Amino acid sequence: MHFIDNHQITIVPDSATDSDLARTIADQYDLEYSPNRQPSTPYRLVVSASTITLQLASTPLRIVVDYTQGHAAHRRQFGGGLSQTLAKAIGLKKGHRPNVLDGTAGYGYDAFVLASLGCQVTLVERHSVLIIMLRHALKQALSHAITQNIAQRMTVEHADTFTLLTLKTAPVADVIYLDPMYPSRKKSAQVKKEMQLLHQLLANEGPNAGLLAIARKRAKKRVVVKRPISAEYLDDLIPHSQVKSKNTRYDIYLPTSA
Ligand SMILES: C[S@@+](CC[C@H](N)C(=O)[O-])C[C@H]1O[C@@H](n2cnc3c(N)ncnc32)[C@H](O)[C@@H]1O
């Protein structure tokens, strides 16, 4: 099932020595390959052994998923630990670390926060390009002393979460976390450049009808939905409780019986 037009993206090597690696990745995920660093598609994923960079032609946007430095490292060190809103919404408490299925993994930054706080997290993502970036970031994090233990708590799965949860018959995790793309998010300074690019890349994202309902059947303790602060509820469903910060709201739903 293709939700994204993968013909918008070309896998290109960073230099001639990266050609085999770039071609292997393109073949593995059924994506276009070109040895030319300026392909005609709007998006390109530039591959080298050390870095994978998502670029949107005609803009300066360059995205690298990296848990070892930058804002992931900053959030790990200074994000507020158990008192940050994400941790509260998921239900982390002293001595209590629910396991989490992140059903809309994206760049995996929220999942990384939860894993850094001690949760086992399964990251499910349906877009091949993000899976390539996630797997690379995880491999890199596993080889860094500071992020190694955290990355060991993260597992990446390439799947559509609705399909995955429909195929299961028993609960898959204590908590299912959902952060689906929100179409009318404003292009303000608050929307970081990574998210802007994700928005453009996934502009034709398929619908997520029924995702919340099936998640409530497959979560043991709760489903948490991340939304912009003033967004409507997902599927117009009023949550049982909420945790809010200035720009973000976490809507918490209790499980329903399978
Ligand atoms: C807003 S992003 C999530 C960002 C993420 N929380 C982070 O910290 O980087 C939403 C992601 O969910 C993925 N997605 C949406 N619906 C999905 C589904 N049904 N199954 C798997 N992935 C899905 C999209 O491809 C996109 O990458």
CB 215 within 8 A of CB 233: no
Q: From 19, 43, 63, give the residue that closes a domain.
A: 63
Q: What is the CATH number of the domain that holds 36?
A: 3.40.1630.10
Q: Is the CB of 126 under 6 A from ligand 1?
A: yes
**For residue 219, what are its two tokens?**
């979560």
**Cα 90 to Cα 102, 124, 133, 207, 222, distances in angstroms:** 11, 17, 25, 25, 8
Q: Is the CB of 110 under 6 A from ligand 1?
A: yes
Q: Are residues 59 and 104 in the same domain?
A: no
CB 45 within 8 A of CB 37: no
Q: Is the CB of 106 under 6 A from ligand 1?
A: yes
Q: Are residues 32 and 129 in the same domain?
A: no
Q: Is the CB of 127 under 6 A from ligand 1?
A: yes
Ligand 1 mean position, distance from CA 103 (Å): 7
* pLDDT above 70 as % of the chain: 92
The overall average pLDDT reported for the chain is 91
Q: Are residues 95 and 135 in the same domain?
A: yes
Q: Spell out the residues 6+ positions from residue 135 whose beta carbon is closer than 8 angstroms to its own.
A: 156
Q: Are residues 122 and 237 in the same domain?
A: yes
Query: Does a structural domain hold residue 258?
Result: no
Domain count, the chain: 2
Q: Are residues 127 and 169 in the same domain?
A: yes
- Integer Cα distance of 228 and 249 in angstroms: 6
Burial class from Cβ neighbours inside 10 Å (0-12, 13-18, 19+) for residue 258 reads exposed
Of 106, 124, 133, 131, nearest in space to 199 by CA: 106
Q: Is the CB of 160 under 6 A from ligand 1?
A: yes
Of 83, 81, 99, nearest in space to 221 by CA: 99
Task: Return the top range by mean pLDDT from 4-13, 76-85, 183-192, 230-239.
Answer: 230-239
What was the pLDDT predicted at 162?
96
Q: From 42, 63, 84, give the residue that closes a domain.
A: 63
What was the pLDDT predicted at 108?
97
Q: Is the CB of 122 under 6 A from ligand 1?
A: no
What was the pLDDT predicted at 3?
41
Q: Which atom of ligand 1 is nearest to the CA of 130?
A: 27
Per-residue pLDDT for 191 more than 70? no
Per-residue pLDDT for 4 more than 70? no
First to last CA, the chain: 25
- Integer Cα distance of 167 and 63 in angstroms: 33
Q: Is the CB of 104 under 6 A from ligand 1?
A: yes
Ligand 1 mean position, distance from CA 178 (Å): 8
What was the pLDDT predicted at 189?
52
Q: Are residues 94 and 176 in the same domain?
A: yes
Confidence band for 190, pLDDT divided at 50, 70 and 90: very low
Helix (H) or strand (E) holding 149: helix 148-151
Q: What residues make up the domain containing 147?
A: 70-253
Give tens-digit pLDDT for 102-133. 999 999 999 999 999 999 999 999 999 999 99
With the most atoms of ligand 1 within 8 angstroms of its CB, the residue from 6, 114, 126 to mutate is 126
- Integer Cα distance of 226 and 14 in angstroms: 35
Of 232, 243, 231, 247, nearest in space to 188 by CA: 247
Q: Is the CB of 180 under 6 A from ligand 1?
A: yes
Give tens-digit pLDDT for 12-38. 999 999 999 999 999 999 999 999 888
Give tens-digit pLDDT for 162-182. 999 999 999 899 999 999 987
Give tens-digit pLDDT for 200-245. 777 666 668 899 999 999 999 999 999 999 999 999 999 999 999 9
Confidence band for 2, pLDDT divided at 50, 70 and 90: very low
What was the pLDDT predicted at 36?
87
Confidence band for 187, pLDDT divided at 50, 70 and 90: low
Q: Which atom of ligand 1 is nearest to the CA of 111?
A: 8
Q: What is the CATH number of the domain that holds 119?
A: 3.40.50.150
Neighbours of 20 (CB within 10 A): 10
Query: Does a structural domain hold residue 144?
Result: yes
CB 12 within 8 A of CB 22: yes
The residue ranking higher by pLDDT, 8 or 15, is 15
Ligand 1 mean position, distance from CA 17 (Å): 32
- Integer Cα distance of 152 and 121 in angstroms: 10
What was the pLDDT predicted at 258?
63
